């Protein structure tokens, strides 16, 4: 039989096994409108091979999904992306990338269950595609940070203007990122973890 030797197979990512020091696992959701970079972010930052369920866009999506600015994109995630990252030796994050399109909202209830926090990815060319997502998170009381994915042809705005446009309170962190870069995506998650920590500290001080 002509099995390829293991040396010719693509190697595993840095860590396929949970570090033995891991003590806590936390669920984080990565949300945002169509084409904002959710799959890219989970893929760049995950230590395990990310699991992605993609379905080629069908006629059913045309005219329903707002595709402005992402015309070249042919596939959209209809289920979710899944990945994992150890933020410290003790703390492991499980990442769930979830679709932002309205017609997939029925998937959301389960996906938000048990989520400690969320990253809302935005594209400055289409801020409005992330409004509803933020509203849903607020309704469910899931704290979030906003990550502005820096697409090269997207206009850049000062954070204060973005905050006003997104109608976000002062305490909600807004950061720029490049979802394709592992370090940048990791920084976003660190920002979220610091934010969650500050909320917990504030909560326990009450
Ligand atoms: N230039 C640039 N392109 C990106 C970035 N993030 C994602 N993309 C591209 O934008 C497209 C949509 O990203 P994807 O992760 O599939 O979006 P999703 O629908 O939110 O999962 C893909 O072609 C990505 O390669 C980024 O930070 N910079
Ligand atoms: Mg996707």
- pTM of the entire predicted model: 0.81
Which tens digit of pLDDT belongs to each residue from 52-67?
A: 765 544 444 444 454 4
Answer whether residue 74 shows pLDDT above 60: no
- Whether 67 and 73 have beta carbons less than 8 Å apart is answered as yes
Residue matched to tokens 């409005």: 128
Q: Where along the chain do its domains lie? A: 20-205
User: Where does the chain have alpha helices with state H?
Assistant: 38-45, 108-112, 131-140, 159-166, 182-205
Q: Is the CB of 76 under 6 A from ligand 1?
A: yes
Residues 20-205, CATH architecture: 3-Layer(aba) Sandwich (3.40)
CB neighbours (10 Å) of residue 86? 17
Using CA atoms, how far apart are residues 77 and 62, in angstroms rounded to an integer?
15
Answer whether residue 164 shows pLDDT above 90: yes
Answer whether residue 112 shows pLDDT above 90: no
Distance 153 CA to ligand 1 centre (A): 13
Question: Which two tokens mark 107?
Answer: 């998937």
Greater pLDDT, 26 or 12 = 26
State the average pLDDT over residues 128-140. 86
Residue nearest to atom 9 of ligand 1 (CA): 37
Cβ contacts of residue 50 below 8 Å, gap of 6+?
Answer: 39, 42, 43, 81, 82, 83
State the average pLDDT over residues 156-164. 94
Q: Is the CB of 150 under 6 A from ligand 1?
A: yes
Q: Which of 102, 160, 94, 172 is nearest to 130 (CA)?
A: 102
Distance 192 CA to ligand 2 centre (A): 20
Identify the bridge partners of residue 120 per DSSP, sorted by sequence position: 31, 146
Answer whether residue 68 shows pLDDT above 50: no
Answer whether residue 2 shows pLDDT above 80: no
Mean pLDDT, rounded, of the chain = 80
Residue matched to tokens 């091979």: 49
Residue matched to tokens 């990791």: 186
SS3 content of the chain, % helix, strand, coil (to 5): 35, 25, 40
Q: Is the CB of 126 under 6 A from ligand 1?
A: no
């Amino acid at each position: 039989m002509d099995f390829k030797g293991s040396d010719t197979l693509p190697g595993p990512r840095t860590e396929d096994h949970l570090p033995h020091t891991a003590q806590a696992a936390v669920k984080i959701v990565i949300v945002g409108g169509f084409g904002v970079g959710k799959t890219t972010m989970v893929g760049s930052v995950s230590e395990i091979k990310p699991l992605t369920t993609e379905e080629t866009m069908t006629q059913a999506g045309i005219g329903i999904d707002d595709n402005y600015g992402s015309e070249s994109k042919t596939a959209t995630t209809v289920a979710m992306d899944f990945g994992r990252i150890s933020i410290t030796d003790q703390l492991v994050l499980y990442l769930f990338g979830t679709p932002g399109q309205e017609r997939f909202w029925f998937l959301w209830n389960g996906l938000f269950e048990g989520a400690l926090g969320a990253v809302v990815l935005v594209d400055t060319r289409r801020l409005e595609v992330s409004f509803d997502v933020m509203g849903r998170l607020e309704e469910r009381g899931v704290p979030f940070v906003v990550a502005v994915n820096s697409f090269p042809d997207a206009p850049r705005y000062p954070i204060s203007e973005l905050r006003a446009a997104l109608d976000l309170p002062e305490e909600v962190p807004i950061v720029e990122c490049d979802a394709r870069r592992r370090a940048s995506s990791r920084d976003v998650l660190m920002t979220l973890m610091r934010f969650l920590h500050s909320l917990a500290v504030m909560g326990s001080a009450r």
